[in-house]
Structure 1
Amino acid sequence: MSVHEDGDHFGLVSDDGSYGTALWLRWRGSDEPELLVLPDCPVAAPGPDGEGCCLFVDHAKQHTWEDTPEEVLCTT
């Protein structure tokens, strides 16, 4: 995800195997992390072979297939 100092932070735990969802941790500052099942982001890159976004619905900032300063890997 995009680098940020404040707000919620997320970390992918596992693609839980259910179609369209994944298991994520969410935390803010020193708060205890919360385990969530979130729906996958449905947005794909433009074009006929557009790569899908590897984040969750309503994530902040850009999709994983957009230009980022760091490489973002999806789990398979």
Structure 2
Amino acid sequence: MNQCTAVVLLPPPDHLLALSFPGHRPEAGHVLCELGDGHDERHAAMLWDEGGRPGSAVWIRWKGSGTATLTPLPWCPVLDPRNGACELFAAHPSLHSWHISDPTDDAITEYLKAASD
């Protein structure tokens, strides 16, 4: 299954703008959904993890071009047959991360393999 291609523009938080130096303001950045294509209408991307504790991963969730919200979510507890952890949040609406491929990343990997041969 291919990765979802939904993107949202994440502006810097107000408190970060207030602390920035004049002329050196942080810029907004684009975030790509990490779920599998064809999931429900809410997109998701993990922004950071504060140490692997339950609920310590902070995800951004959004619908369409609407407002994005930050929310702490626990990790998916499911393991693949080789004991590898799913890299998505618990109760995610798509297949597990090991079933999702990023076509751009796959193309880059193939290109680098061919270039090294």
TM class by shorter-chain length?
0.7 to 0.9
Question: Match of 1:63, as an amino acid?
Answer: H
Other-structure match for 2:89: 56
What's the offset of the Cα at 1:6?
5.9
What SS does structure 2 have at the residue aligned with 1:65? helix
Which consecutive unaligned segments of at least 5 residues does structure 1 have?
Answer: none
Question: Match of 1:58, as an amino acid?
Answer: A
Query: Residue 17 of structure 1 is aligned with which of 51, 55, 60?
Result: 51
Identity within the alignment, %: 33
- Is the alpha carbon distance of 1:2 and 1:16 closer, same or farther for their aligned partners in structure 2, counting shifts above 3 Å? same
Name the count of aligned residue pairs. Answer: 69
Tell whether the 8 Å contact from 1:6 to 1:28 is kept in structure 2 after alignment. Answer: no
Report the more deviating stretch, 15-24 or 37-46.
Answer: 15-24
Matches within 5 A, 1:1-76: 1-4=35-38, 7-21=41-55, 22-46=57-81, 49-66=82-99, 68-70=100-102
Within 2, Cα distance between the matches of 1:55 and 1:5?
13
Which consecutive unaligned segments of at least 5 residues does structure 2 have?
Answer: 1-34, 106-117
TM-score, normalised to structure 1, is 0.75
Within 2, Cα distance between the matches of 1:69 and 1:18?
24
TM-score, normalised to structure 2, is 0.51
The alignment's C-alpha RMSD in Å is 2.2
What SS does structure 1 have at the residue aligned with 2:98? coil
